[in-house]
Homo-oligomer: A and B are copies of this chain.
Amino acid sequence: MSDLHTVNKSPFEKNSLESCLRLSKSGSAILLYEDGVYGALKGTAVENMIASVVGDRKIYVLGPDYKARGLDETRIIDGVEVVDYAGFVDLVEANDKVQAWV
């Protein structure tokens, strides 16, 4: 089985991403959206948290949320893939279930 995990909180404010990474299985998909998108940026204090699991987990970031926050797509951590809402829907369909780390 493979699950989609969703994280909508800033990793600088809340512990949701950290817990998601600790408690999700190898091979899972993780979608960062809403304030969760800040975790996808290069050069931050939490970059390594994401970068170290790219490959083991598949990391996605919701483009509309990322753009809303004024961040540049060239600054996304390598290996993180940008999706839109339709892509979010596809991820929900493609995985067995969704675990929300609200």
- Least CB distance, A48 to chain B, in whole angstroms: 18
Contact with B along A9-51 (1 / 0, CB 8 A): 0001111000000000000000000000000000000000000
Counted per complex, copies of this chain come to 2
Q: How large is the interface on A (under 10, 10 to 19, 20 to 34, 35 or more residues)?
A: under 10
- Least CB distance, A86 to chain B, in whole angstroms: 32
- Least CB distance, A1 to chain B, in whole angstroms: 28
What chain B residues lie within 8 Å of A14 (beta carbons)?
Answer: 13-15
What chain B residues lie within 8 Å of A12 (beta carbons)?
Answer: 15
Q: Which residues of A in the span 40-83 have a Cβ within 8 Å of any Cβ on B?
A: none
5 CB < 8 A contacts A-B:
A12-B15, A13-B14, A13-B15, A14-B14, A14-B15
